[in-house]
Structure 1
Amino acid sequence: MAMNAVARDTVFALRRQIAKIEGTLPERLQAPVSGTPGAIPGKVQSGFPSGIAEKQHVDAVRSDITIVRRGLAVAGQEAFLNTGIERLDTALGGGLPKAALSEIHGLETRDAGAVAGFALSLASLIRKEKPGLPLLWIGTAEIFHEAGFPYARGLHALFGIAPEQLLFSEAPKLLDALWIAEEAARMTAFAAVILEIRGSPQRLDLTATRRLHARAQNAGRPVLLLRQAGEADPTAAPVRLIVSAAPAAERETVAGPLAGSIGRPAFTVAIGKSRTALPGQFTLEWNPDEHAFTERSAEKERAENPVAVVPAPARGADPAPASGSVLAFPAVASFATGYQPSRQQRPAHRGPRRAG
């Protein structure tokens, strides 16, 4: 029994140490209750005794204190990039972390344009706080040959990013792209660093993403990892957003929606991973005039797409006709009907033979 108690205390001590390192150790925001054993008046006590005393201590002071966790609360709103969508920011625990590695995932190759557009939308929000700093986009030759480069005129018109403020680095190999991203992530001369990867390469493992995440934390700059047609492999990014293209709504005019027109860019964003572990799926529209996101409601989604993809028959339901009688046909057609077998179908013994 004594050994079990010692082992249990050791486990509790290790858990407290890990929580302290990760910044998730519960802390008291108010002065401790008078009469609490070991309490120092006027001081803030952190942590709890181990074992059964922990539960008793929590029950005794639960009504008098407020418990927080540093990893989610103490950092403050200034540590997050607000997307402007309250539901999305709440599900992410405040928004996208500014000084961290964030993963933007496209499940298929055809989603590369939507992933790039969503990343540029986030970059536009980032540059509002750091308007004078450029952006660095890193990728391999395979990436840029497959998905292309962002259009310079579209950058300024849709996202307010001048073409000279977006720098590209085309690396011959993935190893070179990772090295460039690690060196760029440690610099404060960029507003953000974008690394685009295709597939699920072995070199993009936990070790590589941990280095990128650590460099981003030290520099206080965001690093956006764009994944094209890759699996949801484990990475060190605290946030993973799965992005695909959403149907664009009709263009709004003074007289109402313009029939047959194409409105603002739209994205379907699903939360694949976050610190809060709250799932969610959102349809976002990017406003190129205000450089901000707006959320499309479910009612508007149904109103803009009232019909099915395949229209119903004009005369109503058209069931399949009833089946008739089944007839048996001979397995081999008669040569009298003009049927001529191909050379491959003719018996081998009827074909010409080579002498000798």
Structure 2
Amino acid sequence: MAMSAVARDTVFALRRQIAKIEGTLPERLEAPAGGTPSAIPGKVRSGFPSGIAEKQIADGPDVTIVRRGLAVASPDAFLHTGIERLDTALGGGLPKAALSEIHGLETRDAGTVAGFALSLASLILKQKQGLPVLWIGTAEIFREAGFPYASGLHALFGIEPEQLLFSEAPKLLDALWIAEEAARMTAFAAVILEIRGSPRLLDLTATRRLHARAQAAGRPVLLLRQAGEAEPTAAPVRLIVSAAPAASRKTLAGPLAGSIGRPAFTVDIGKSRTALPGQFTLEWNPDEHAFAERTENSVAVVPVPLRGADPAAASGAVLAFPPVASPAVISPTTGDQPSRQQRPAHRSPRRAG
């Protein structure tokens, strides 16, 4: 019995330590004389999203409220996207000192994932001016997806070419080593690691090391996964990004028909601190370098045919069968049945032999 009690206490202590690391440690709040719960001295009352229940239990003469939710974090600990619904669903935004995963389901989404990562890098550089962003990848991924265009960096994201550094590694093992060493440095505003598929080397242990380095340095590490499976990682946030149909360009007279507007992204929350799912359509404003949420349904822009406009006529102008030109075609004596000479060839019986 003594050994079982010691083992049980050890398990409880480990669970408490794990809950403290994950930020799910229960918080005890007492109700003052006025009836409104307030934090116990020495404790900080944290905010919780809607949907997380509170449980009231009797604790002596007073009522104690036990809350199980997120760990206390300052608002400055998150990178705000500017979209209130998305930031709320993520529990405040993307954590700055953490590993965040941006997942593209297919290889053809590499440009979309890179554009979304550059949008986040633009928001980060607004706060970390004077520091560059390091983009790490293997020769395979850069050969498949290419490099960002320097002129487009400044025009769309406000990023100067010298603010974005690239490190091309021959193998994934080298890329992981570079990412771990760069994640521990405060000389970079952020570190971006781009990989393809679901390699065996990028396991839970490797992502834990990246997450720990990011926490120690207080810098975000973005893991771009192209055409990979959603495997367990240490990243507290996973966003699944794909291309969204571009809306028409807006003018003073209204939307310009047939035009292509701002870049748009469809963002799904695959994993977050709050475990709240959600899908958002975001547009990137290249003039203000900020996100904007689009709520209305947009129609994909279809190119005009090479031969001109759509040849389809208006409804009612095309008939299924032409009208009868002359009554001599159909004999009144035979009714609706055509003569043998008028019967189509394909209606004749097939000869045998």
**Counterpart in the other structure of 2:15:** 15
Deviation at 1:10, TM superposition (A): 5.6
Work out whether residues 31 and 43 of structure 1, in 8 Å CA contact, stay in contact via their aligned partners in 2.
no
Secondary structure of 1:301's counterpart equals coil
CA distance in 2 between partners of 1:83 and 1:329 (Å) = 76
Alignment partner for residue 301 of structure 1, among 297, 300, 303? 297
Matches within 5 A, 1:19-38: 19-28=19-28
Deviation at 1:66, TM superposition (A): 5.7
CA distance in 2 between partners of 1:305 and 1:159 (Å) = 24
Q: As a proportion of its length, which structure holds more strand?
A: 2
CA distance in 1 between partners of 2:314 and 2:167 (Å) = 55
CA distance in 1 between partners of 2:26 and 2:96 (Å) = 23
**Counterpart in the other structure of 1:235:** 233
CA deviations on 1:246-297 (whole Å, 9 max, x unpaired) are 1111111111111111110000000111121111111100011111111110
Work out whether residues 131 and 163 of structure 2, in 8 Å CA contact, stay in contact via their aligned partners in 1.
yes
**Counterpart in the other structure of 1:36:** none
Amino acid at match of 2:26: P
Amino acid at match of 1:284: L
Alignment partner for residue 221 of structure 2, among 202, 220, 223? 223
CA deviations on 1:59-93 (whole Å, 9 max, x unpaired) are 12598556556x83411211111111111111111
Deviation at 1:301, TM superposition (A): 1.1
CA deviations on 1:151-201 (whole Å, 9 max, x unpaired) are 101101111100111000011111111110000000000000000001111
Find out whether 1:130 has 2:140 as its counterpart.
no
Deviation at 1:313, TM superposition (A): 9.2
TM-score (norm 2): 0.76
Amino acid at match of 2:286: P
CA deviations on 1:318-346 (whole Å, 9 max, x unpaired) are 99xxxx99x8898xxx7xxxxxxxxxxxx
C-alpha change, 1:134 and 1:6, in structure 2 (3 Å) is: closer
Find out whether 1:103 has 2:101 as its counterpart.
yes
CA deviations on 1:212-244 (whole Å, 9 max, x unpaired) are 111000000000000111111111111110001
Deviation at 1:25, TM superposition (A): 2.0
Work out whether residues 259 and 301 of structure 2, in 8 Å CA contact, stay in contact via their aligned partners in 1.
no
Work out whether residues 197 and 228 of structure 2, in 8 Å CA contact, stay in contact via their aligned partners in 1.
yes
Work out whether residues 123 and 192 of structure 1, in 8 Å CA contact, stay in contact via their aligned partners in 2.
yes
Matches within 5 A, 1:335-350: none
**Counterpart in the other structure of 1:115:** 113
CA distance in 1 between partners of 2:262 and 2:256 (Å) = 13
CA distance in 1 between partners of 2:102 and 2:261 (Å) = 24
**Counterpart in the other structure of 1:350:** none
Work out whether residues 32 and 45 of structure 1, in 8 Å CA contact, stay in contact via their aligned partners in 2.
no
Work out whether residues 246 and 301 of structure 2, in 8 Å CA contact, stay in contact via their aligned partners in 1.
no
Work out whether residues 30 and 44 of structure 1, in 8 Å CA contact, stay in contact via their aligned partners in 2.
no
Alignment partner for residue 284 of structure 1, among 282, 285, 294? 282
CA distance in 2 between partners of 1:45 and 1:301 (Å) = 46
CA distance in 2 between partners of 1:293 and 1:131 (Å) = 19
Work out whether residues 139 and 171 of structure 1, in 8 Å CA contact, stay in contact via their aligned partners in 2.
yes
Alignment partner for residue 271 of structure 1, among 269, 272, 275? 269
Amino acid at match of 1:24: T
Gaps of 5+ in 1: 34-41, 47-56, 335-356
**Counterpart in the other structure of 1:184:** 182
Gaps of 5+ in 2: 34-39, 45-54, 303-309, 321-345
Deviation at 1:14, TM superposition (A): 3.8
CA distance in 1 between partners of 2:211 and 2:351 (Å) = 70
C-alpha change, 1:305 and 1:143, in structure 2 (3 Å) is: closer
Equivalenced residue count is 302
Measured on the aligned residues, the alpha-carbon RMSD in Å equals 3.5
TM-score (norm 1): 0.75
Work out whether residues 101 and 213 of structure 1, in 8 Å CA contact, stay in contact via their aligned partners in 2.
yes
Deviation at 1:22, TM superposition (A): 3.9
CA distance in 2 between partners of 1:328 and 1:201 (Å) = 62
CA distance in 1 between partners of 2:285 and 2:237 (Å) = 24
Percent identity (aligned): 80
CA distance in 2 between partners of 1:208 and 1:329 (Å) = 75
Alignment partner for residue 75 of structure 2, among 77, 96, 110? 77
Higher mean C-alpha deviation, range 123-132 or range 112-121: 123-132
Find out whether 1:246 has 2:244 as its counterpart.
yes
